[in-house]
C-alpha cells in the first residue's frame, strides 16, 4: 500500500466536513495515509508471537510427512472388505506412532494401529477400534466403511515447496504451532512499532500522589499502555504534560524524534487552554475533526515530520473507543499486517431499549451473553457516560449503532464488535 498525503486523502472525499466527519470517512483517510514501517529482523520462534511476518514462509517438508492414522483402530486394505456384510480379517502386527511398521499386508490381513502411526504398506483405510469385534488374532469389521477413512494423507496440511504462511500475517498461537511443525528455529518479522504517548492537562495527577481540589488521577496513560502493549508495540510513556505551550512543544518534538507514532489524550477540543492545536499547526501537517460519533467527538490526526500523530479526547471511555475505532487498525497496518484489519461485526438481539438519533455512530458498552437456549444476545453495562470507565471494565463488546440508525427496542438486532482482548 502506498500512503497518500493528508491533503490527497481528504481531497478524495466529496462530503468531507471537519465539523461533522463520519466515522467511516475518518477511517478511510487514516488508512490511506499509513503504510508499514521499514525494518526487518529475525527472531527466535517463540519471540515471534504477536509479531508480523516480513517474508513468505515456504514449507521445506510435507506435513504430515507420511500417510498416517487419525484414530486408534485397524489399518487394512479397503478391497478386503465386503460392501454389504461383515468382514473377517487376521491381525498380523501393531503399528505405533513414531515407529515404521516393517511388514506388508497380504489379502485379508490388517494391522492394529495407533493414532499418528504411519500407515503400513498396502493399507489405505483405518477402522476405529470401537466398532470392531476382536477374537484372538481375528477381527470382524461391520459393513458400511468408506475408502480412505480415518487416514491423514502426506502433505495434506502443508506441502513441500508451497507457501505455508504469507508475509503480513500476524503470528498468533496457531501460526506459532504451524511454524514449529515446519521445524523452524527463527523467523523474519517486521520490527516493533515504536509509540510515544502522553496525557495533557493541569488537572491530571500521576498515581501515588495526593489529590488537590479539582484534580483527578490520570487513567488514560494506563489504558493506552495496556492497549498498545497488548497490540505488540514498543511504548514510550512520557507522563503528564501541563497545559503550557513550551512544555507541550518540547514533548511533541521529543516524541516525534523517538517514535513512529505519537498519541496524546486531551487538548484537542476548542477550550481556551488547548494550545496543542496551534503547536501542531506549526510543527506538522495535522487536521482537527469533530467526528460524528459518541463518545469521542474531538480528534486530531496527521504527521509531525515523518511521525504519525493521533490526538485523542480526554475522557477515559472516549480514549478507548477512539483507539479501537481509529488507532488500532492504523497501527496494525503500520506493523505490516496485510488485508482487512478491522474487527468483524456480529448481529445479535439487544435486550435493552436504547435511545439513538440518526446522524452519528454510537458505541455503547455491552456484554455478549448466551441464554439457556444457546442463542446469543447483548445487554448494556449500564450508565454510558464517556467518563464512566467502569462501563469498559464490565464490557466484552461494543454495541455499534450505525450513523443512520435510530432508536433500538428490546429484541431488535444490533451490530456487536468484540473487544479483541485489548481492554
pLDDT in tens, 253-266: 999 999 999 999 98
User: Among all chains, which residue has been given the C-alpha cell 500500500?
Assistant: 1
pLDDT in tens, 279-292: 888 889 999 899 99
pLDDT number for residue 406: 96
Q: Domain locations in the chain?
A: 6-39+191-334, 41-63+156-190, 68-152, 345-418
Contacting residues for 339 by C-beta, under 8 A, at least 6 apart = 168
Contacting residues for 129 by C-beta, under 8 A, at least 6 apart = 71, 72, 73, 74
pLDDT number for residue 186: 97
User: In this structure, how many other beta carbons lie within 10 angstroms of the beta carbon of residue 20?
Assistant: 13
SS3 311: strand
Domain 41-63+156-190 part of CATH 3.40.50.920:
no
* Burial zone of 181 (CB within 10 Å; 0-12 exposed, 13-18 middle, 19+ buried): middle
Q: Which of 190, 194, 214 is nearest to 204 (CA)?
A: 214
**C-alpha distances in angstroms, 47 versus 56, 58, 129, 191?**
18, 19, 41, 12
Contacting residues for 169 by C-beta, under 8 A, at least 6 apart = 52, 53, 175, 337, 338
pLDDT in tens, 58-117: 999 998 999 999 999 999 999 999 999 999 999 999 999 988 898 889 999 999 999 999
Please give the Cα distance from 386 to 291 (Å, whole number).
15
Q: State yes or no: cis peptide before 82, omega within 30 of 0.
A: no
Please give the Cα distance from 41 to 53 (Å, whole number).
10
User: Is the pLDDT reported for residue 420 higher than 80?
Assistant: no
pLDDT class of 273 with cuts at 50, 70, 90: very low
Q: Which of 404, 325, 307, 321 is nearest to 364 (CA)?
A: 321
Contacting residues for 5 by C-beta, under 8 A, at least 6 apart = 33, 285
72-81, 145-154, 356-365, 378-387 — which is least confidently predicted? 378-387
Please give the Cα distance from 395 to 382 (Å, whole number).
10
* Burial zone of 247 (CB within 10 Å; 0-12 exposed, 13-18 middle, 19+ buried): middle
Which CATH number among 3.20.20.70, 2.40.340.10, 3.40.50.11540, 3.60.20.10 corresponds to the domain 345-418? 2.40.340.10
Which CATH number among 3.20.20.80, 3.40.980.10, 3.40.50.880, 2.30.29.30 corresponds to the domain 6-39+191-334? 3.40.980.10
pLDDT number for residue 302: 94
pLDDT class of 422 with cuts at 50, 70, 90: low
pLDDT number for residue 423: 54
pTM of the model: 0.85
Mean pLDDT of the chain: 92
Rounded (10°) angle between helices 276-283 and 245-258 = 50
Of the chain, the percentage scoring pLDDT greater than 70 comes to 97
User: Is the pLDDT reported for residue 271 higher than 70?
Assistant: no
pLDDT class of 272 with cuts at 50, 70, 90: very low
CA angle 269, 389, 415 (to 5 degrees): 90
User: Is the pLDDT reported for residue 34 higher than 80?
Assistant: yes
Contacting residues for 16 by C-beta, under 8 A, at least 6 apart = 10, 25
SS3 151: strand
- Domain 68-152: CATH superfamily is Molybdopterin biosynthesis moea protein, domain 3. (2.170.190.11)
pLDDT number for residue 244: 84
Of the chain, the percentage scoring pLDDT greater than 90 comes to 78
Beta strands in 313-388 (DSSP E): 345-349, 361-370, 376-380
pLDDT in tens, 310-320: 999 999 999 99
Determine contact, residues 101/68, Cβ cutoff 8 Å.
Answer: no
pLDDT number for residue 217: 86
pLDDT in tens, 319-338: 999 999 999 999 999 999 98
SS3 282: helix
CA angle 138, 142, 145 (to 5 degrees): 115
Please give the Cα distance from 232 to 229 (Å, whole number).
5
Contacting residues for 332 by C-beta, under 8 A, at least 6 apart = 170, 231, 341
Determine contact, residues 342/329, Cβ cutoff 8 Å.
Answer: yes
| Phi and psi based region of residue 411 (left: phi greater than 0; alpha: psi -120 to 50; beta: remaining) | left
SS3 204: strand
pLDDT class of 2 with cuts at 50, 70, 90: low
Amino acid at each position: 500500500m502506498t500512503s497518500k498525503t493528508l491533503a490527497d486523502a481528504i481531497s478524495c472525499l466529496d462530503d468531507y466536513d471537519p465539523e461533522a466527519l463520519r466515522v467511516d470517512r475518518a477511517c478511510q483517510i487514516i488508512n490511506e495515509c499509513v503504510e508499514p514501517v521499514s525494518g526487518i529482523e529475525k527472531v527466535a520462534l517463540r519471540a515471534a508471537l504477536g509479531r508480523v511476518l516480513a517474508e513468505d514462509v515456504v514449507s521445506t517438508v510435507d506435513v504430515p510427512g507420511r500417510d498416517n492414522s487419525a484414530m486408534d483402530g485397524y489399518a487394512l486394505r479397503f478391497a478386503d472388505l465386503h460392501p454389504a456384510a461383515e468382514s473377517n480379517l487376521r491381525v498380523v502386527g501393531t503399528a505405533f506412532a513414531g515407529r515404521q511398521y516393517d511388514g506388508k499386508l497380504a489379502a485379508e490381513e490388517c494391522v492394529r494401529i495407533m493414532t499418528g502411526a504411519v500407515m503400513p504398506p498396502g493399507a489405505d483405510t483405518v477402522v476405529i477400534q470401537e466398532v470392531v469385534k476382536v477374537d484372538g488374532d481375528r477381527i470382524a469389521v461391520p459393513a458400511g466403511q468408506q475408502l480412505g477413512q480415518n487416514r491423514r494423507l502426506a502433505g495434506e496440511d502443508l506441502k513441500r515447496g508451497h507457501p505455508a504462511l504469507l508475509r503480513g500475517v500476524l503470528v498468533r498461537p496457531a501460526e506459532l504451532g504451524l511454524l514449529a511443525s515446519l521445524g523452524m528455529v527463527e523467523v523474519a518479522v517486521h520490527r516493533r512499532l515504536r509509540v510515544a504517548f502522553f496525557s495533557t492537562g493541569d488537572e491530571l495527577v500521576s498515581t501515588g500522589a495526593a489529590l488537590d481540589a479539582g484534580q483527578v488521577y490520570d487513567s488514560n496513560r494506563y489504558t493506552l499502555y495496556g492497549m498498545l502493549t497488548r497490540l505488540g508495540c514498543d511504548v514510550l510513556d512520557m507522563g503528564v504534560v501541563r497545559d503550557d505551550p513550551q512544555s507541550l512543544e518540547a514533548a511533541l518534538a521529543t516524541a516525534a524524534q523517538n517514535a513512529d507514532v505519537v498519541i496524546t489524550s486531551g487538548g484537542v477540543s476548542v477550550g481556551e487552554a488547548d494550545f496543542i492545536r496551534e503547536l501542531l499547526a506549526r510543527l506538522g501537517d495535522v487536521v482537527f475533526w469533530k467526528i460524528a460519533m459518541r463518545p469521542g467527538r474531538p480528534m486530531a490526526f496527521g504527521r509531525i515530520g515523518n511521525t504519525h500523530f493521533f490526538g485523542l479526547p480526554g475522557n477515559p471511555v472516549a480514549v478507548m473507543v477512539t483507539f479501537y475505532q481509529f488507532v488500532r487498525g492504523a497501527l496494525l497496518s503500520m506493523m505490516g499486517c496485510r488485508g482487512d484489519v478491522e474487527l468483524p461485526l456480529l448481529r445479535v438481539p439487544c435486550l435493552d431499549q436504547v435511545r439513538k438519533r440518526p446522524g452519528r455512530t454510537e458505541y455503547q458498552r455491552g456484554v455478549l451473553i448466551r441464554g439457556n437456549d444457546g442463542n446469543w444476545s447483548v445487554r448494556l453495562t449500564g450508565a454510558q457516560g464517556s467518563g464512566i470507565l467502569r462501563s469498559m471494565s464490565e464490557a466484552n463488546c461494543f454495541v455499534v449503532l450505525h450513523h443512520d440508525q435510530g432508536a433500538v427496542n428490546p429484541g431488535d438486532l444490533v451490530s456487536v464488535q468484540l473487544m479483541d482482548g485489548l481492554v
